[in-house]
Structure 1
């Protein structure tokens, strides 16, 4: 049924925020208007309002998104609680294994990095907080979809693999079954040589993944001793179990 209610001003504001979120270098008023198919007079007042409310910054007539939306997202109680409990555990794990550790959540066909810890030595493959990453074929993407209600899982598969051939979707669906049976994902990167990612789901009371904690292992070639894949898997499992206990939510028994 067609929605009989409309809010043109709100829609213009949201359109501006969305187009700026997709731009890395900022946009001028003319560029924003062009991308939205609107004239300057339609967005001028709305842009000024967004700047005054600190959702958008204006640097030399170039507009960029601020961090306010990201900050507000962390005021949501479940996310705030998750981060509050997860960060100390992630810091301890990263310090112990000397690899980075990050936390990702599913978000409309992609996964968003909501926390990232770098080991004390500052070395390793690390993703930036706020980054949006493809679900397939990453380890974290696999666990975020594998541990879901069947209906939600199918919805997310379609969102994550748009315009993919049925054969590719079926291969991906089968890989999710394997991950679900194993209890976590531990795979070699298909994008970077020498990178191996291990990811465990953080589960809710119904056994559905609300986030994925991931350790990307980057092999050294200088003879420096590193934790083995199996050791990191076990330590990451313990960390996620510890986090689950603190959150009083799902447990991982694998």
Structure 2
């Protein structure tokens, strides 16, 4: 494309928005409107409406009153495409084996634009089990999957995930003890908690980690105790199966992610 053609097809507003996103992606701690305009060599007034739209659409957040920083929305959008499809393809046979051996259902959950989202589900092989539809949004603060997704991220990423959820949820219920619990989950390597939604169910959740040890997904068994003597392992045995499966998926997904890096 010639310089003349390039100029003809310019979209100034889009260029301005992309300039802001690319600038914020390269700094820690965010920038003020004045700092953004200075680094991009334009008047602060040129960026007011653009920043307002980026905040309203969830790509940028305001921190400390007058500073702007990127959210994880772009990360979430990217996750929904090829990386997540590949992750599901790796996970499906492992999740199927886990369901057969544990006699329990299980699901794979990722963080996407403020929510924990179910991207894969395996039914229990018997009559009884807890099923959650693929595509369902589940709680970030009151589920095992949500706790694991938060626990195995850096404090900065965790803060951004919570802020993104708060923008979409008018009254997020965050208990004062949550941060202490997240640290405990990270230390022991899993979450085990009574379901906040269904009586008699326990959330068993383990992280699927990338090569950098950041959580890319949560693998969760909604455990129910079966009366049938052939109903499968107890909750402790099921947890060991879950941890083994999550470790296998982490190694598989991590190896492929490393191979795909330039």
- TM-score bucket (shorter structure): 0.5 to 0.7
Matched-pair contact (CA < 8 Å) for 1:203–1:209: yes
- For residues 84 and 225 of structure 1, do their structure 2 counterparts lie closer, same or farther at Cα, with a shift above 3 Å needed? closer
Matched-pair contact (CA < 8 Å) for 2:115–2:137: yes
Matched-pair contact (CA < 8 Å) for 1:100–1:117: yes
Give matches, 1:37-52, under 5 Å.
none
Length-normalised TM-score, structure 2: 0.63
C-alpha distance after superposition, 1:201-228 (max 9, x if no partner): 1111221111101111122356664421
Matched, 1:232 2:238: yes
Give matches, 1:33-112, under 5 Å.
76-112=81-117
C-alpha distance after superposition, 1:89-130 (max 9, x if no partner): 000100111110100001122111100011222420110001
Give matches, 1:1-254, under 5 Å.
5=13, 76-161=81-166, 168-221=174-227, 225-249=231-255
CA shift for structure 1 position 77: 2.6
Matched-pair contact (CA < 8 Å) for 2:148–2:206: yes
Length-normalised TM-score, structure 1: 0.64
In structure 2, stretches of 5+ residues that fail to align are 1-10, 15-76, 257-262
In structure 1, stretches of 5+ residues that fail to align are 7-71
**How many residues align structurally?**
183
What SS does the aligned partner of 2:132 have? coil
What SS does the aligned partner of 2:13 have? coil
C-alpha distance after superposition, 1:112-171 (max 9, x if no partner): 1100011222420110001111112100000000100211111112333555599x4532
Matched-pair contact (CA < 8 Å) for 1:203–1:249: no
- For residues 165 and 79 of structure 1, do their structure 2 counterparts lie closer, same or farther at Cα, with a shift above 3 Å needed? closer
What SS does the aligned partner of 2:109 have? strand
Write the distance in 2 (CA, Å) between the matches of 1:165 and 1:117. Answer: 29
- For residues 164 and 73 of structure 1, do their structure 2 counterparts lie closer, same or farther at Cα, with a shift above 3 Å needed? closer
Write the distance in 2 (CA, Å) between the matches of 1:139 and 1:207. Answer: 19
CA-based RMSD of the aligned residues comes to 2.9
